[in-house]
Amino acid sequence: MPGLLVGIILIASLLLVHFSLRARPLPEDRPLDVDEGLPLPEIGQASTVFSLTALFGAYFGIALLLGLPALTGVAFGTALGLFLIRYWIEAYKPNRFETFLVNVLRGDNRNVVVYALVISVVQCLYATSELLILREIAKVSFGVRPEHASLLAVGIAIIGYFYVLFGGYMAVFRTDILQFFLVAVMAVTFSLFLFGQNLPTEWVTRLFPRPGYWEIPSLIGTSKALYFYHFIIGAIMGMGLLVGSPDTWKRVFLVSRRKGKIGLRFLTLVIVGVTPCLMLMPFALTIGPIEDGEINAGIMFSKLLTNNYLFVVAVLGLVASFLSAFNGALLASVHIGLILSRKQKRRKSEMPRFHWLMVTTIVTLFLLFVAFTSSGNPYLLGNLLLGAYSLIAGVQIGTSGNISKLRGNSLLWVYILGFVGWIFYLASKGFPEVATTYQINTVPGGVMFFLISTIACQILVRGGRKNARNS
């Protein structure tokens, strides 16, 4: 039954793409320069927030292990990130989103190339992470063999790839509405299921952090200070995901085009971005407590597997989340690469270049997928991405979203030292062969790297100003 419904959803998505192409085919000269006619970008925020890596990976782990203080911080950081992106976009005053991207990719040519490549590669890795977790869900939910789960995940990804290839942003935004509806149904269903249950007496304690996670020795025993610390860590994490996501930049740009200080559409975008984080608590309470250490997804989701209705709703919601995040990250990676290629060499028609970039990206993505499937830990790539997003967010905050302020060739060293440092940090914690609850303890380290990269960029910006005045 779930497999049939997933097939119906994929067919419906392809039909939406077909009608999108008939209504508005991709422009030959600038295939991704599409701002008009994109429906409900504030609702489609699902592409970034509703993802298997973030919402049902790291954020879900926070809900299970750290409870409401940290999860509230993630929600606050999500809202803060959207306001910061709006501020950066208004500072450039672009009339089109591609104009904004061109303005972002300006300054020292070496810094521009490094910045664009890092964001493009990270988006490709993010899509790979979605694919790895979808494979894990297929293994748990359908009980299929690992190789069959891989084929299923790759098959769904290929369908998503083709409707991005042929439909571009129009296809992504239209299918996001259907996918948002499925995720919303899942959230409401689990909330109603929770309220209809006789909750155990200890459910209130599960709203707060358990020992062993995000602890500071000096704050043990001081609950209020510890909760505030968790709130700050969660806030920086939530903000960092969005400020480093070109998909979110696009949506904020579209909803900010109306005149006025803060319009209703932007507030809707903020609400849609924040609500999923808070809705994770009912989901986590429905799942129930899990033991510290190795994560057994089959046991953790046992309640869903015994309730047919919850099982179907969960599978459809998770597949919808995958398609939204996978397609959004895939298209963002290609779009950044397209703008960078244009800066190097302009062409009258970019359609062939767009097709080659799409092919290169999907092949790279599948090679990464094959490489990481050799690991028994589908969330290991998520840990690597945590450091990458921390560094990107640090550069964004440290330069106020304007890398042209940096000294020439300085960004390369910020990223090299940052990435090497993050690998050594993870190595000091150990690379778990299977998914464990303790992987969530790398988040404070990611926040530390964010702060270091922010300060480093501030120093480089001030040094660049002094050199400009002396010259």
Q: Is residue 45 pLDDT above 50, yes or no?
A: yes
Q: Name the pLDDT band for 464 (thresholds 50, 70, 90).
A: low
In this structure, what are the phi and psi dihedrals at residue 241, rounded to the nearest 5 degrees?
-60, -40
Asked if residues 357 and 194 have their Cβ atoms less than 8 Å apart, the reply is no
- Model pLDDT, residue 470: 40
Q: Name the pLDDT band for 305 (thresholds 50, 70, 90).
A: low
Largest CA distance in the chain: 72
- Model pLDDT, residue 22: 60
pLDDT (tens digit, 9 = 90+) per residue, 238-285? 999 899 999 889 988 988 876 555 577 788 888 888 887 777 777 777
Please check whether residue 426 lies inside any domain of the structure.
no
- Model pLDDT, residue 173: 82
The predicted model gives 80-96 an average pLDDT of: 90
In angstroms, rounded to a whole number, what is the distance separating the alpha carbons of residues 164 and 315?
Answer: 22
Please check whether residue 469 lies inside any domain of the structure.
no
Q: Is residue 465 pLDDT above 70, yes or no?
A: no
Coil, strand or helix at 256: coil
Please check whether residue 155 lies inside any domain of the structure.
yes
In angstroms, rounded to a whole number, what is the distance separating the alpha carbons of residues 264 and 258?
Answer: 10
Please check whether residue 441 lies inside any domain of the structure.
no
- Model pLDDT, residue 163: 79
CATH of the domain at 138: 1.10.4160.10
Q: Is residue 1 pLDDT above 60, yes or no?
A: no
What average pLDDT does the chain have?
82
pLDDT (tens digit, 9 = 90+) per residue, 183-196? 778 777 777 776 66
In single-letter form, the type of residue at position 307 comes to N
Q: Is residue 236 pLDDT above 70, yes or no?
A: yes
At what angle are helices 246-255 and 264-287 packed, to 10 degrees?
130
The predicted model gives 455-464 an average pLDDT of: 85
What percentage of the chain exceeds 90 in pLDDT? 29
The predicted model gives 100-128 an average pLDDT of: 91
Asked if residues 279 and 55 have their Cβ atoms less than 8 Å apart, the reply is no
- Residue 222's domain comprises 40-377
In single-letter form, the type of residue at position 280 comes to L
pTM of this prediction exceeds 0.85: yes
Please check whether residue 421 lies inside any domain of the structure.
no
Q: Name the pLDDT band for 469 (thresholds 50, 70, 90).
A: very low
Please check whether residue 260 lies inside any domain of the structure.
yes
**How many CA atoms lie within 13 Å of 262's alpha carbon, on the beta-carbon side?**
10
Coil, strand or helix at 294: strand
Q: Regarding predicted confidence, which is higher, 358 or 205?
A: 358
- Count the domains in the chain: 1
Q: Which of 341, 318, 36, 342 is nearest to 168 (CA)?
A: 36
pLDDT (tens digit, 9 = 90+) per residue, 210-232? 888 888 766 555 678 888 999 99
- Note the helical H segments in 41-66: 46-49, 59-65
Please check whether residue 340 lies inside any domain of the structure.
yes
Please check whether residue 318 lies inside any domain of the structure.
yes
pLDDT (tens digit, 9 = 90+) per residue, 307-344? 677 777 777 777 777 888 888 889 999 999 999 988 87
pLDDT (tens digit, 9 = 90+) per residue, 342-392? 887 878 888 899 999 999 999 999 999 999 988 878 888 889 999 999 999
The predicted model gives 422-441 an average pLDDT of: 88
